[in-house]
Amino acid sequence: MNWKKIAADFPINNNFIWLNNAGHVPPGQHAIEAVNRFMQAHTKSGFKTYSLMYPQPHKRVKSILSGLLNCSEDDVALIHNTAEGMNFFSHGLNFSSGDKVLLPEQEYPSNVYPWEHVKENGVSISFIPNSNTQDGFIRNLKEHITPDTKAVSLSAVHWCTGMPFPLKEISSICQENDTEFVVDISQGAGHVPVYIDDWDIPFCTGSAWKWLHGPLGLGILVIKKDKINSLSHIFKGTQSVVSSHNYFPYKSELKDNVDRYVFSTPSLIDWIYFEASLSYLSNIGFDTIANRIYELSDYLSGQLSETGFTVLNKQFAPVKSGIIAAEHEKVSSKKIVDKLKAKNIICADRFNRVRFSVHIFNTFDQIDRTVSILKKIVS
């Protein structure tokens, strides 16, 4: 694989060392060109261009995502963001007074705030204590899941520590306890395995703009078809119903798959952007991408350890992740992040740790430059 060519495909590399891909990924030249082509055509042909181009990105995006996530194309829809998807689940699941929802401690707000309304109906929200190992988290989950636990909702990968959660084992535990399982795939899809059908994960949602290189403001929703009618449908729009292209007569029958949640006209520009990015990644191969991310991540982790950082990833090894959480006993994470930012090196400050997250357009030379500057900051 010509990684030098791939690095050149991302204009961000001309100005920054971008190590915040768990935040969002700046667009590659392929996405810029795809959107520009559409805009040029749309300027000349108007709605005709929209009508002609709508089916292609819709079908291609669903095809790539379903292959990556091991699910049916009919189970995948594009929405706006994780919080929207989580609200579909929290409002759609039929809670009763006395039920309980379990979330991980220090979970991202998009998987916390959407659940808070259930407390108004006598439903409690409890938090599973964190662990820096998968086995430790499983023990904590088993201690907290009870017969009244209606749902467990968590991220595929913890957004601060970088630890992938053992989704297959968690799904089995939920099934044994007759508990619904909801997964935020934002930090997982694209660099760690998420096998929806094989692991029997009924409900997933996530943002497209992280490991999958999608545009800001585009999200993913996955609901297995055999679970679609177990959710109350709170919102209804033009495209929620069968034969939605025929506006009259008005219809009461909802589509029989997740497309019922695509309420009305989508942002076609976002779909074209996402199609270009997913096609680019798919042509490289998602297994190849994951291996490259792990190669860069392992190299950076080793360099950080030699520079005096405590690297959290080593505690959950050999499990791999593209997110590296590191701390230094002498220098605060905020100071380190600010100093690196002043040198156009972008990472994040998360829970008193520096969070680095690499992707395929990063290079070993960028890591070496980052570590060279880090040595001066902590010396």
pLDDT of 109 over the 60 cut:
yes
Token couple for 97: 């007074």
40-281 belongs to CATH 3.40.47.10: no
Angle at 262 between CA 207 and CA 73, to 5 degrees: 75
User: 267: pLDDT confidence band, cut at 50, 70 and 90?
Assistant: confident
Torsion angle of the four alpha carbons 76, 82, 88, 91, in this order, in degrees rounded to the nearest 10: 160
Q: What is the pLDDT of residue 334?
A: 97
pLDDT digit string (tens) for 334-369? 999 999 999 999 999 999 999 999 999 999 999 999
What pTM was computed for the model? 0.94
Share of the chain above pLDDT 70, in %: 98
Categorize the per-residue pLDDT at 248 as very low, low, confident or very high, splitting at 50, 70 and 90.
Answer: very high
Mean pLDDT of the region 169-188: 98
Query: How far is Cα 196 from Cα 68, in angstroms, rounded to an integer?
Result: 10
pLDDT classification of 51: cutoffs 50, 70, 90: low
Q: Which residue has the higher pLDDT, 44 or 333?
A: 333
Beta carbons within 8 Å of 59's beta carbon, 6+ residues apart? none
Residue 368 neighbours by CB under 8 Å, 6+ apart = 303
Domain ranges of the chain: 3-19+285-378, 40-281
Residues 6+ positions from 83 with CB-CB distance below 8 Å: 109, 110, 113, 114
What SS3 state is found at 330? coil
- Arithmetic mean of pLDDT, 112-123: 97
* pLDDT of residue 40 exceeding 90: no
CATH 3.90.1150.10 assigned to domain 3-19+285-378? The reply is yes
In this structure, are residues 108 and 206 in contact, taking their beta carbons and an 8 Å threshold?
A: no
Q: If you average pLDDT over residues 67-92, what whole number do you get?
A: 97
Verify cis geometry, omega within 30 degrees of 0, for the bond prior to 26.
no
Residues 6+ apart with CB under 8 A from 235: 261, 263
